[in-house]
Structure 1
Amino acid sequence: MHRICICIFMDKKKFATLKSLAAPPTVVADVMKAFLLLVYQPEDIQYCTLSTAQKAEDLIAAETEESIKVKCFDAVYVYKWTTSMVENVKASGGRKA
């Protein structure tokens, strides 16, 4: 299910843009770290633990769509997806550790 959700927000061109950044700004790196924390789950993302969702949220807590857009427009899509998934995990209670 989470792969379908990613496809809605992301396409190969956006990922290619992010991948092509030799030295991404810290904000972009943090967004990608938060995204990867959620994506690399043994089960569906919505069933990751609350602590994993919290770690992802903490990485991007100080950012907004605008602060990210200034650094890399395509990272905004990853940010939106990540914040949406964090909210879903929090609402569901997450997987019990």
Structure 2
Amino acid sequence: MEQKTIVELRRLNSPPRGVDDVVTAFLLLLEYPPNEVKDWNKCKSILSRTGEKSVMTKVSHFDPLYCSPETAQKSEDLLAPYTIEIVRNKNLYAAKMYTWTKSMIEEVKASGGVQK
């Protein structure tokens, strides 16, 4: 995941349908509470955080062994209606986030994640 991806997505005032789901799935996987990612303005606020609370910090510290299978499943459910082609046609940066999120979901599933 690159910082540029985060920057470009948070610049969207009203993302195409599907892009918002990709961002929400990504943030849920990083264990942001569901109530913090329920609308686009809240997601944009999270994407704008800096320092220790930044998304990139969470990405760099993400370990599939410490993600719960339930969290991964919630993210996967949000992505289920979409393919990489659908997302790429809506927004290239969302496609990058989609790919990262899908791969981390698979790693959580393969590792079994942490049981909460």
Could you say which TM-score interval applies, normalised by the shorter chain? 0.7 to 0.9
Structure 2 counterpart of 1:78, one-letter code: M
TM-aligned CA deviation for residue 15 of structure 1: 1.8
RMSD: 1.8
User: Of the candidates 61, 66, 72, which is equivalent to residue 85 of structure 2?
Assistant: 66
Structure 2 counterpart of 1:39, one-letter code: L
- SS of the equivalent of 2:82 reads coil
Q: Does residue 33 of structure 2 align to residue 14 of structure 1?
A: no
User: Of the candidates 41, 51, 54, which is equivalent to residue 70 of structure 2?
Assistant: 51
Structure 1 counterpart of 2:8, one-letter code: T
TM-score by structure 1 length?
0.82
Residue by residue over 1:39-85, the C-alpha shift from the partner in whole angstroms, topping out at 9 and shown as x without a partner, is 23797441211010000000001111110011111111100000000
Distance 1:31 1:77 in 2: 10
Gap regions ≥5 residues in structure 2? 33-57
Aligned residue pair count: 88
**Percent of paired sites with the same residue:** 44
Q: Does residue 14 of structure 2 align to residue 23 of structure 1?
A: yes
Gap regions ≥5 residues in structure 1? 1-5
TM-score by structure 2 length?
0.69
